[in-house]
Amino acid sequence: MQAKYSALLKSNTQILVPPPTNHKIIGCKWIYKLKFKLDGSIKKYKIQLMAIGFHQTNGFDYFEMFSPTVKQTTI
């Protein structure tokens, strides 16, 4: 987790800021996955930090959603 978090900070993907006092804070959790080789041995460990967005209420905590997607024809 520390290596992934350090990489996010180093690439300026995430910035630590003090929490605002007048807003509700959204939690997060780490998601762990194992990738396997064809012979069944472990190829690599994958980890992601995900926001727990299901605690939000539309129109109260947020007003719009943005999810970037790419279609195969675009590439």
pTM: 0.45
pLDDT tier, 64 (very low <50, low <70, confident <90, very high otherwise): low
What CA–CA distance (Å, rounded) separates 2 from 10? Answer: 12
**Residue 11 pLDDT > 90, yes or no?**
no
User: What does the mean pLDDT of the chain come to?
Assistant: 77
Distance of CA 41 to the CA centre of its chain: 27
| Residue ranges covered by each domain of the chain | 2-55
Tell me what pLDDT residue 39 has: 94
